Structure 1
């Protein structure tokens, strides 16, 4: 019978609550399972919908909780000798017919000949529904409203931005508007790119649209390695100088950076 990643581990993969090397190995194994990536995509979508319904204070608390879990996992990983086998019973998972064991290989434990296959599996993970993407919800009197590309918005609308990293470790979220302005949403400063987390991650602060005309276009830029934020911002400013190009064309970026965008069409404040 093919191995199936248990639900408790799938949740930790979606939330990024594993040390980086174990997370990469777990994602690679999931990519080789029949329907594994579909299960993860459904869980991440459900996670995002759940967070979108929470008030901002609870969202911020959840983000902080996940950050602490990840940091604790990294700390344990650094101070504990690597283990190939992790008994499920030690994690409180019900066990039938004896002990159910889950193999957790870290990348450094893989033999050299296995690493190319690992890279192929990770790439497969990205191309089967787990591409990096940006999600935007508009705050309303009721449940937050998800916004699709080309959705109509107005000055004064309050937006909650979230991202799905798709396995990329570094990224940035920015926007350009019809007035030619460029806004950096994450990280807080261009000192260095944002270290991305797993799952659907809302940005810490909501964003209120100003009265800039015509449109606001949001970009999510990701990479496998750290990149120059100042160069990214200059590329955005270059595109923003021509609003009609900024509405439809991609950022002029090197091949090492991936990008996705979401365009919002703006109307006057009511």
Structure 2
């Protein structure tokens, strides 16, 4: 918006004159920048009164102001201030988490992938360029018509449990178990006393899938006690090499966007993605479960 000086506003509202062919003609319409300030009430009271009075005398002046005010109301309805403020705060937290991860010293076993400052800066720019709805890779999730696995009585530290259902039987898989395209999996978690968590997976093709919550803006709350089955089963596709599930936990809400971005960054390096942790701050605990894909 053009920020004119108060003197310019006063001069315009009083009607600047132009001499044309020996006659004095008054400017016909209020400029858009001044119309916006009138609509927003961003003028001293006397100046605003004079500007509104002049606008009333202009052809279509009243309708121009009405359209602008209607557009403003529609914009506010689509983007309420509290929603916009929340989204800005979320993006700031995400950028902060990425920057913190970039400053973290590499873990002893972390050799192949690190976040340099240029990479971290590029990642922050990517985050800030994403639209508010932030599209997540569509997970190949199947509604839970599959019989949920019996997990009552299983307790312990925060970790994932992965079951495979085949021909009416249910098999609890071990880490690094072999799996095939079309295998139908059921994921469960043990919170280990943690109150919040995110479950994502990375495959050998570099695809990242969000499993919990099932939406980017969903709640990351976990249920304590016995193992809890996620509400959807998951069918393996034909991505080669591996399917690796990460369980990121914390005592406070977890930024889903930050976890997804970390997973995407790791997924760019398939040879590392099957063995290395997500590049996240150490304030977030993480564990993983890997399946080795075979034809």
- The TM-score normalised by the length of structure 2 is 0.48
Secondary structure of 1:245's aligned partner: helix
The residue aligned with 1:177 is: 203
In the aligned structure 2, how far is the partner of 1:193 from the partner of 1:242?
29
Q: Shift of residue 227 of structure 1? A: 2.1
* Structure 1 stretches of at least 4 aligned residues deviating more than 2 Å after TM superposition: 55-60
Mapping of residues 27-106 of structure 1, within 5 Å: 56=145, 59=148
The residue aligned with 1:162 is: 188
Instruction: Structure 1 unaligned segments of length 5 or more: list them.
Output: 1-54, 67-128
More helix by share: 1
**1:30-62 Cα deviation digits (max 9, x unpaired):** xxxxxxxxxxxxxxxxxxxxxxxxx956649x9
Aligned: 1:216 with 2:243: yes
Instruction: Structure 2 unaligned segments of length 5 or more: list them.
Output: 1-143
Task: Give 1:228's match in structure 2, choosing from 250, 255, 272.
Answer: 255
The residue aligned with 2:173 is: 147
Greater RCO structure (CA 8 Å; 6+ sep): 1
Aligned: 1:134 with 2:145: no
Residues 236 and 57 (structure 1), Cα distance of their counterparts in 2 relative to 1, 3 Å cut: closer
Equivalent residues of 1:193, 1:228 under 8 A apart: no
Task: Give 1:251's match in structure 2, choosing from 270, 278, 288.
Answer: 278
Q: In the comparison of the two structures, how many residue pairs are matched?
A: 149
Equivalent residues of 1:171, 1:193 under 8 A apart: no
Secondary structure of 1:264's aligned partner: strand
**1:221-262 Cα deviation digits (max 9, x unpaired):** 110001211111000000000001000000011111111101
Task: Give 2:288's match in structure 1, choosing from 247, 261, 269.
Answer: 261
**1:145-167 Cα deviation digits (max 9, x unpaired):** 11111100000000000000011
- Which structure is larger by alpha-carbon Rg, 1 or 2? 2
Task: Give 1:195's match in structure 2, choosing from 191, 208, 221.
Answer: 221
Residues 207 and 58 (structure 1), Cα distance of their counterparts in 2 relative to 1, 3 Å cut: closer
- The TM-score normalised by the length of structure 1 is 0.52
**1:75-117 Cα deviation digits (max 9, x unpaired):** xxxxxxxxxxxxxxxxxxxxxxxxxxxxxxxxxxxxxxxxxxx
Residues 221 and 260 (structure 1), Cα distance of their counterparts in 2 relative to 1, 3 Å cut: same
Equivalent residues of 1:135, 1:163 under 8 A apart: yes
Aligned-residue CA RMSD (Å): 2.3
